[in-house]
Amino acid sequence: MDAIFILTGAGISAESGLGTFRDKDGLWTRYDLRRVATPEGFRADPALVHDFYNMRRQNCLEASPNAAHQALARLQRDYPGEVTLVTQNVDDLHERAGAAEVIHMHGELLRALCAACGHRWPAPARMLPEDRCPACDRAATRPDIVWFGEVPYRMDEIVERLARARLFAVIGSSGEVYPAAGFVEEAVSQGARTVEINLEPCGRGNLFGSGLYGPASAVVPSWVEGLLGG
């Protein structure tokens, strides 16, 4: 059975009410990413950065998975081969839809990380700069989010799984942020079939062998139906 590798981005959660980054009214049109999504920004103003992620965590807790998240969970459950689900999203909507295994390459809103000792724990709804690490008691807590200039999580495992994939799909991502944006070239070079699922072809759309265009909540369920043979 062909191994499948799926990369999701903010577009899959857009219809659940979570904003994307680069679309009209996207988060990066309203916030300066250097101030809220870099280690330098956090050093300069930790309270501002915590406020930004506290707000996003609140939005995430109020959101529900949509039909696209549910269809991918079904694919992981019912497909007889390997289905790797890697997300750039920091929400937990794949998990709440029932996905068996999700690789969060850019971290998770619902986790806290101690910058001093590396301990991780469930984030409270509201994180504050003075919060102490439950393991080392230092006030060095941060959201467990991969910021610009930091290395995404679980890259060795991702590269291994990408090398096995015979079908590669990107759902709801603009292909602007590396290393994720480069996965399609890797998949093409090893002869995998590639498909882009998005509202419209993204800037790297011509690299994909095929494209399915429309809202993820409509396109993904029918794509999954086809993969499961009916």
Q: Which residues are catalytic?
A: 106
Q: CA nearest 150: which of 184, 194, 107? A: 107
Counting contacts by CB under 6 A, is residue 70 touching ligand OAD?
no
Q: In terms of CB distance, is 15 or 92 closer to ligand OAD?
A: 15
Q: DSSP code of 53?
A: H
Reduced 3-state DSSP string for 177-197: CCCHHHHHHHHHHCCCEEEEE
Q: In terms of CB distance, is 81 or 179 closer to ligand OAD?
A: 179
Q: Quickly tell me which residue has 């991502």 as its tokens.
A: 173
Binding mask 15-44 for ligand OAD (x = CB under 6 A): x----xxxx--x----------x-------
Q: Quickly tell me which residue has 């937990």 as its tokens.
A: 92
**Site for ligand OAD (CB under 6 A): how many residues?**
26
**Dihedrals φ, ψ of 70, to 5°?**
-65, -40
Counting contacts by CB under 6 A, is residue 177 touching ligand OAD?
yes
Number of residues in the chain: 230
Please report, as residue ranges, which positions from 190 to 229 form the binding site for ligand OAD (by CB under 6 A).
198-200, 202, 215-216
Q: Of all residues in this chain, which one has the CB nearest to ligand OAD in the complex?
A: 11
- The CA radius of gyration of the chain, in Å to the nearest whole number, is 18
Question: CA-CA distances (angstroms) from residue 139 to 28, 43, 120?
Answer: 29, 13, 14
- Tell me which of 16, 54, 70, 174 binds ligand OAD, using CB under 6 A: 174
* 149, 39 contact by CB (below 8 A): yes
Q: In terms of CB distance, is 25 or 130 closer to ligand OAD?
A: 25
Q: In terms of CB distance, is 67 or 162 closer to ligand OAD?
A: 67
* 89, 10 contact by CB (below 8 A): yes
Counting contacts by CB under 6 A, is residue 86 touching ligand OAD?
no
Please report, as residue ranges, which positions from 88 to 107 form the binding site for ligand OAD (by CB under 6 A).
88, 106
Tokens, residue 170: 């990107």
- Tell me which of 11, 41, 46, 143 binds ligand OAD, using CB under 6 A: 11
Binding site for ligand OAD (CB under 6 A): 9-11, 14-15, 20-23, 26, 37, 88, 106, 146, 148, 172-174, 176-177, 198-200, 202, 215-216
